[in-house]
Amino acid sequence: MAAIIDSNNIEYLGEIIFFHRKKAGISRMDLGMIAGVGKTVIYDIEHGKKTLKIKTLLKILKALNIRMYLDSPLMEHFKGSDYAKR
């Protein structure tokens, strides 16, 4: 099941991270060490902080085995375009 996160429900992302961390049975400190970020960053995200670096978020998601997808009506056109470098 996928979750849709936008600027109106950014707190939902924190709830998802909290849920996965608890199910994994790890502390904020442990997750921070695994992801290479501080435990305060984990706390802030889990409590709905609305600003963070995308690189930090991706580290945390990777540590919890959560993937992030980007979707739009133009993605099929993007994949074969000159703009898609990879």
What string of pLDDT tens digits covers the 86 residues of the chain?
888 888 888 899 999 999 999 999 999 999 999 999 999 999 999 999 989 999 999 999 999 999 999 889 998 888 878 887 76
d(CA 85, CA 82): 7
**φ, ψ at 79 (rounded to 5°):** -55, -35
The structural domains of the chain, ordered by start, are 11-79 (1.10.260.40)
Q: What is the amino acid identity at position 22?
A: K
